[in-house]
Chain A
């Protein structure tokens, strides 16, 4: 967390190389911390690694580093450091313990579901950030659009894996429950986004506003369930 904040401070001081070094160092340490969560209870529990609050900052940082590696230079690629610090700060104050494993979570499907879902969330959130910059005229690239589309694809993969997990465990593919309906809300919302390119009146600026609204829904839904999970029994931490 300190390294991420350091990276942000050096970015604001216009010391780009040092900022990048701090970001990479922060990412390496955060990765080690995430991996160690998997062994936190004394046995391998991969689902602990992909717990939303802790995994989202990792996904954001990995996306950010990948973009910096593969995209053209641009100072706008450093601005999501603010976002990264914000979500890492939430992870810092959140209970660190691991939710005990149950026979329901002891499957590769649960881990894969959360992996793809949180990665999709990261794409939506980062897409909205770049969309925000686009609205303000600070950035001309439509990178936000690609991120939102990739977010939707990853979210669809998560829903397929989640459906298999749900069927094996609960004998259904869709449940009339808060969690499933919120997932369907997000999927339909971004499915609507995918159709915007066919409507000429929806230019990139309006699409950016739409992506911003989508990220708000995603963050409100996921963090409202994280708040509930704070009261769950946890091991260690």
Chain B
């Protein structure tokens, strides 16, 4: 039974059809999130389980694609893990015949797949753990992040373009001054748009909504456990792609390999 299951997940055809199905579901999902923003927008601000409790139960017809997508992503994770283990096992056994350089080259796709698994795990962590709060910027307002940590909004200021004439009156940058209190210790922070501040494992981001003539500022306080997995994972994956494919291309040109 276990062997049959292993062989099922070790098939590259499964990878292809899973990726294609995930791609199709993401396409379908992009329509749903556009048509039903009131249902799906809160998913960006809440943990998945909290969002499901509030919005999911009453909207099963809007969510079918999301549950299939999550199931397929899980299957893709399994498929990637099994394929990677199988490939690494066979490469490890034949490492002495191929030399270190060739082994390093041959192992690259497996490392890329490990990075992909790290990214998938990171996304899962971001969905189900962590902390997010969204607060409108009002000087004097306090945000209770945890039992020990409080953030107080001290002041806000927006700068506007004065020149050239075409940009006059448009917001160039907004900054908010904050006072944090953690276990009795005070600290002062400043956040601007695209310039977050960091505090006790939380990141503080300033956001701006420009509706009509009023500029509304909001502060996002976030603790994202997946961030440290997703970003390095994706970065290493991309760097390895940049390193690996030119070599394949060169080998193809030199007739060393049948190519991709």
- Residues of A with Cβ closer than 8 Å to B? 41-43, 100-104, 106-107, 145-146, 149-150, 152-153, 156-157, 159-160, 163-165, 167-178, 181-182, 184-186, 188-189, 191-192, 194-199, 217, 235-236
Contacts and interface: CB of A to CB of B under 8 A. Distances in A.
Contacts of A170: 205, 207, 220
A178 B34 contact: yes
A2 to B, nearest CB: 28
B145 to A, nearest CB: 14
Interface residues of B, number: 60
Contact of A168 (B22, B196, B249): B196
B208 A217 contact: no
Interface stretch (B25-33, B98-106, B180-188): B25-33
B35 to A, nearest CB: 10
Interface stretch (B2-10, B88-96, B147-155, B232-240): B232-240
A42 B44 contact: no
Contact of B23 (A43, A168, A189): A189
B230 interface: yes
A189 B242 contact: no
13 contacts: A43-B163, A103-B171, A103-B193, A106-B173, A157-B242, A168-B194, A168-B196, A168-B205, A176-B29, A178-B31, A178-B33, A195-B12, A195-B15
Interface in B161-184: 163-167, 170-174
Interface in B28-81: 29-31, 33-34, 40-41, 43-44
Contacts of B205: 168-171
Contacts of B194: 103-104, 106-107, 165, 168-169
A196 B16 contact: yes
A103 B173 contact: yes
B238 A100 contact: no
A231 to B, nearest CB: 16
Interface centre among A145, A153, A169, A176 (most CB of B within 10 A): A176
Interface of B: 12-13, 15-16, 19-20, 22-24, 26-27, 29-31, 33-34, 40-41, 43-44, 123, 126, 132, 163-167, 170-174, 192-196, 203, 205, 207-208, 210, 220, 222, 224, 226-227, 230-231, 234-235, 237-238, 241-242, 245, 249, 259-260
B245 A192 contact: no
Contacts of B34: 178
Contact of A104 (B15, B193, B238): B193
A191 B19 contact: yes
Nearest to B19: A192
A43 B164 contact: yes
Contacts of B126: 172-174
A219 B193 CA distance: 31
B205 to A, nearest CB: 4
A236 B166 contact: yes
B193 A185 contact: no
Contact of B237 (A156, A174, A194): A156
B16 A199 contact: yes
A162 B170 CA distance: 24
A43 B167 contact: yes
Contacts of A41: 164, 166-167
